[in-house]
Structure 1
């Protein structure tokens, strides 16, 4: 043992001495011989002879090597390597026979490139120099190693780019001119294989085991059956590659131990991103062939066969599994080897999802202008289907559905002609389906019915559903459904008859920002109601009826009528509804083209409406001066109005205009404070309960002001049996009323200031101020002699218009037919009465 160590130390010392003594000579020979074969410049930072770098071999070590490419005006280097080892056998060095047996590249980058003309940058060796065996230094490579070397292959003519990172690849060479036999093994990380705009095998670890023979004379590469492992899948590749002219491929590939993940891993990111999370079990097979020319002007013929037998697929995040899946598929790029002649075919597709069967077939031809034949039959549990393949717009679902679908035709023509370029038919049966939508707080439940696809139309047959607390029964059609679904901007016309037992408008108008889970929508404050968001592509022709309608305090019955929508404008030739013991009707339009300025132009009428209930339901119309506690009687009215709303469906009172003709029968005014101040004409007990048989007048609303022309009120108080009232009342609760009470001799309770009327003397009073601070006083300006009155003001333009304006007949009462189209109506203007003048200082009298 000791002698062995001594011998080894002496041998090593002698070898080191020989290397040291012959270092300059060997490096000189290497440089001289390398220059004989290199056709491009090579830059080296430092060259040294080392025994330890590649022990037990002696190596010429080159540091910081840059090898330039051979393309004209090519600024990118072919290779940049931190260390390049050219190794000799030890005995060759001792015998003086210098043969470079191994080449090792460590920590570098190799860029192999072909330009659009097919010229490469890798022709770095001279082709006119033969390797003489009697030279003092000979390149006799037996092994090539790549260690942490990035390799990029770029073909500008084919628009292809391969990016690899060789961790540790070992290749052995056997040279017997003109043949070079290479056997390579190792691990490589594929950054991406980019074909056009798509990137395949992105960030995949690949294990390589290959054998190939290069015939330099015929320029033919023969690839023996070689294995590529990507994850658990093995792909066996064999065939030939001829490169004498344009590249000719004749390769076969066969997959072993493949599954859904390994097949999806081969796809580009845009196709595999959503499918990559799915897992599979069972037999999944894959094989194919690539034959023909690969160049800028031609593609090889590509044929693939794939499928699965008794396989299962599942989504690990949703714990749902598709089982007993059978599939046979083929792909070919066709006779012309391009996208136009490519065909994808899926046959005998069948399987089960949670025990529910599905089946189908697909034939997809011409990827440029595709023609498709599709057949699909599926019995589904909605909840399980959504968990296996989630839909962004739906949070959750349940219920049963059966789908039958058939299609045949050209997809481009089908899309361009809004569903008329092909044959489509099918139906969807829904049974007790529930859906929770992402953008709406109220769930859809009890959805049952049949949707039948007939050409471009979907027929709704016996459909019913609950949306929150509202229920619907629908029969009709979705016209231009395929055009709307396939082409953005196409209109969808919903032509249907809709019936409801209960319509809860509180929920249907609730804001989408309102919490959905556990929320009681009926208790939402009015400020939380959403805007009227209307899709531009939606058109409606709805014949509606509802037994009960809920909106805030309103509980109405027997809604009947037609609602239409076109270009974001709602219209109705007539809607009628029963509420508060009476009946109301309306016709007109709601223009929602500007969400921040929604205009409702209506002609409305009502009959038999109790005043106290009407004021209570509409929350006393936002004022506290005269409320539902003060009023009794039955209202019959008709009117025309232009009402504007903001985004939150709140009225914009500055723009409101209306003309109303109203009549109150058997009216009562209870405990109304301004009337209590007329105690000089009657007792307070009588004035607390003022009754009148009928009151009729026209009202006008404009510029946030209600204008009241003079009207007569015949009451139950003998001393004030006839009262005349006129004036204005603003939305800011500023009152300016003028009251005239005819005087019956001997009936005045106290001395008062009066005036003359056309029927005799009268007491003229003014009620002015706001609802919290008003006063009742003698209207001295009206009682002053004509000579003492201030000169009349000139008439304004609007007063001149009112003086000449002819009255337009009021709309029909609620009992009249409601199906007539709304007539054109004049714009609403102020009444012709002049605005009263406030009393002068010192003319205030409190009764």
Structure 2
């Protein structure tokens, strides 16, 4: 071995031996003078404290810290001078291990190899006045006139370890609470000229991470695991946490941060990124007030999110929060339903308007390029905003184009059912959100439906090739360019509902639709469904007890009212044909009110007003009608002879005017219920003729063999009928004709019970045509022989003519003379 190498080894060995001896001496000294050393350390440290530091015991640990000088402090406690008031101990450590570099001590510097703290509680407390127990550490007075001592050294920590340490920052003034349960933290420190660097691995349970204790904790009861690389620049007083992977619960995030210590309490910026996280996992990391809202939604597959937090550890209130999210071809569940194939870019910020605070009132959610399918209906919302989470309001523009049959699952098939056609929607909306569901939206825009086949199920009505244009203007709904076709009927409609949106959500039964309807032709038989009583289903309620969209729409259809103003060129009903028809109708809850009906028919006109009450399969009606100068034959033909069997449209000619006030019942097929009509009818027949009326002809065979009874004409005939079920009571009336005169009174029955008395003088009316004076003509009308005939029921169902033997005798002498000549 070379001599020089021997010398080096000897010197090195000597130094090591010297260090070992020194450590042994120090350790032995401490071991035999523990109380003295403990008192010295305690006394010295308490000089710089506004409070007390107590150490229960001290032990040297030679082998654990070799070649450094190491000791273990047990039961270390630090209390500030106001501890008795707030009872928060700054430090309470069962064991505090310190290892110091012995060689550095010899050079006059303190180089801490390692500090280990185990089974400890660190509690940084600030009360509501701003006083903190960190005031236990005295601030070192600064003398601006004294030059800086560059020869002095500071203690440098190389390694540290925390085991089972509870760390708390409880700021009652700022309403902040940070509590961590450090299960295992290992770190090392480097000290470049610019400051220091720290590299650590942690395993820490978050018990509270509350920027505002009134709203709760972020990441509560989540385990944090992973490495951190931290750098401090002494010139800028900036702590930078390099972005790194950190496990939070079951998810891994990339987290970076900055802490600015230049101005009092640190300002911070924290950046959090996760490219693949489930919605529920992300929601459960946030404060309860946010989590509660987010849990009303769900996104099936993982999404990409970023979160930036900017704030200060001083003062109250939340930090600035800025979150982004990207959703691609996902399934989103909302309180209003499920959205498939959903994609959007989302942004959340609690600073919508600068200067209005960082809070829920000033928060906003922005959704860009939001598109998806709701119950197979595709839609797009270019930009949607939801601002003010305390009283949230949603705005946006909704667009969609789809086959209208896809509406059936959305609106339910209790009122409307579409089988063909397309729909185009473009609606701008603004609406408050209640439980994140649109409530009473203000809409503007249009809904256009083209070439649609639709059935209105409550009335069993079917329309084809239907076109509808809906326009929302504020709370009102305008319905334009509507074309309805059912069978041979076509109608063009314009409608309006005032205050539609308010009523739809609060009182759909109060909705009133006003229609202006024009039609080239209507076949009433195709609308007999309106005679059916509307089906009234019980409101459909969700599990939460709220009435759903189906129920709202059904209630609007079932209980709402419709006011119809019709102008129809031609109206058909069975044999009935009318032209130039006008009418005002009100369709209400199981009733139809008819007003101002005017039509041209059979060369004359008809006016009508009334009401129909719908009761199951039978409907009651009240009808007031006026008939002016209609062709009698055509009129009777159109109404199927009004149920008369022995008297048809072929037996009567002339021009009829009449008034009727009747009540009755009609079934759902539009047929009058037998024996249901009651009321009074008065009539006047001008230029009338009775043609081939068999009851008169049967009498004439033997009473008037030489008169033409096939065509009996009369210039003016008036009468009144009282209708009581199947009985028509004919009030006494005079019939004056070219062939004979007669007085008629009695009962005509549509079934059985006909009993009509006819008084027919044999005197030929032609003999009286030369008498100009009407009074004189009336006196001679019943002179001579008078036949008293009774028309009754025959066995074959036809009217039977016989002598009226039991008729009451008249008191007038002229009548008695006539009777004696029979």
TM-score (norm 1): 0.50
Aligned 8 A contact 1:227 1:235 in 2: yes
2:561 to 530, 538, 545: 538
Q: What is the alpha-carbon distance in structure 2 between the residues aligned to residue 698 and residue 487 of structure 1?
A: 55
Aligned 8 A contact 1:576 1:583 in 2: no
Deviation at 1:697, TM superposition (A): 1.9
Deviation at 1:291, TM superposition (A): 12
Q: What is the alpha-carbon distance in structure 2 between the residues aligned to residue 674 and residue 263 of structure 1?
A: 98
What residue is the counterpart of 1:723 in the other structure? 742
Aligned 8 A contact 1:212 1:221 in 2: no
Worse-matched range after superposition: 778-787 or 397-406: 778-787
What residue is the counterpart of 1:669 in the other structure? 691
Aligned 8 A contact 2:604 2:629 in 1: yes
Larger RCO: 1 or 2 (CA < 8 Å, sep 6+): 1
Q: What is the alpha-carbon distance in structure 2 between the residues aligned to residue 217 and residue 536 of structure 1?
A: 54
2:382 to 356, 360, 366: 360
Distance of aligned partners of 1:251 and 1:314 in 2 relative to their CA distance in 1, 3 Å threshold: closer
Distance of aligned partners of 1:262 and 1:693 in 2 relative to their CA distance in 1, 3 Å threshold: farther
2:646 to 607, 625, 645: 625
Deviation at 1:663, TM superposition (A): 0.8
Secondary structure, aligned partner of 2:529? coil
Distance of aligned partners of 1:503 and 1:424 in 2 relative to their CA distance in 1, 3 Å threshold: same
What residue is the counterpart of 2:543 in the other structure? none
Q: What is the alpha-carbon distance in structure 2 between the residues aligned to residue 432 and residue 592 of structure 1?
A: 34
Long gaps (5+) in structure 1: 1-127, 132-173, 184-210, 240-249, 293-297, 515-532, 748-755, 789-844
What residue is the counterpart of 1:330 in the other structure? 348
Give me the CA root mean square deviation: 5.8
Secondary structure, aligned partner of 2:635? helix
1:17-56 CA-to-partner distances (Å, cap 9, x unmatched) read xxxxxxxxxxxxxxxxxxxxxxxxxxxxxxxxxxxxxxxx
Q: What is the alpha-carbon distance in structure 1 between the residues aligned to residue 408 and residue 806 of structure 2?
A: 81
Aligned 8 A contact 1:427 1:451 in 2: yes
1:738 to 754, 757, 774: 757
Superposition pairs for residues 386-535 of structure 1, below 5 Å? Answer: 386=407, 392=413, 393-408=415-430, 424-439=443-458, 441-448=460-467, 450-489=469-508, 491-510=510-529
Aligned 8 A contact 2:222 2:249 in 1: no
Distance of aligned partners of 1:268 and 1:326 in 2 relative to their CA distance in 1, 3 Å threshold: closer
Deviation at 1:676, TM superposition (A): 1.8
1:346 to 364, 367, 372: 367
Deviation at 1:597, TM superposition (A): 6.3
Task: Name the count of aligned residue pairs.
Answer: 526
Structure 1 position 588 matched with structure 2 position 588: no
What residue is the counterpart of 1:170 in the other structure? none
Q: What is the alpha-carbon distance in structure 2 between the residues aligned to residue 563 and residue 710 of structure 1?
A: 37
2:802 to 763, 767, 777: 777
Superposition pairs for residues 218-297 of structure 1, below 5 Å? Answer: 222-224=223-225, 225-226=246-247, 256-257=275-276, 284-286=303-305
1:536-582 CA-to-partner distances (Å, cap 9, x unmatched) read 53242x43211222323333332124445678875565322233x33
1:755-790 CA-to-partner distances (Å, cap 9, x unmatched) read x985233111122236816543322344758699xx
Distance of aligned partners of 1:785 and 1:627 in 2 relative to their CA distance in 1, 3 Å threshold: closer
Distance of aligned partners of 1:614 and 1:388 in 2 relative to their CA distance in 1, 3 Å threshold: closer
Distance of aligned partners of 1:389 and 1:655 in 2 relative to their CA distance in 1, 3 Å threshold: closer
Distance of aligned partners of 1:673 and 1:299 in 2 relative to their CA distance in 1, 3 Å threshold: farther
1:682 to 688, 704, 727: 704
Secondary structure, aligned partner of 1:626? coil
Deviation at 1:743, TM superposition (A): 2.5
Structure 1 position 765 matched with structure 2 position 789: yes
What residue is the counterpart of 2:576 in the other structure? 554
What residue is the counterpart of 2:204 in the other structure? 213
Q: What is the alpha-carbon distance in structure 1 between the residues aligned to residue 384 and residue 208 of structure 2?
A: 48
- Pair member with larger Rg: 2
Long gaps (5+) in structure 2: 1-91, 96-160, 167-180, 185-201, 210-219, 226-245, 257-268, 534-555, 767-779, 814-821
1:573-627 CA-to-partner distances (Å, cap 9, x unmatched) read 5322233x3333224332648777644242321423342x433433333343333
Distance of aligned partners of 1:263 and 1:572 in 2 relative to their CA distance in 1, 3 Å threshold: farther
Q: What is the alpha-carbon distance in structure 1 between the residues aligned to residue 453 and residue 594 of structure 2?
A: 32
Secondary structure, aligned partner of 2:647? coil
Distance of aligned partners of 1:464 and 1:633 in 2 relative to their CA distance in 1, 3 Å threshold: same
Deviation at 1:708, TM superposition (A): 1.6
What residue is the counterpart of 1:696 in the other structure? 717
The structure carrying a bigger helix percent of its residues is 2
Q: What is the alpha-carbon distance in structure 1 between the residues aligned to residue 719 and residue 652 of structure 2?
A: 19
Aligned 8 A contact 1:238 1:251 in 2: yes
Aligned 8 A contact 1:260 1:284 in 2: yes
1:281-336 CA-to-partner distances (Å, cap 9, x unmatched) read xx8434669999xxxxx999996845446647799xxxx99879443243769999
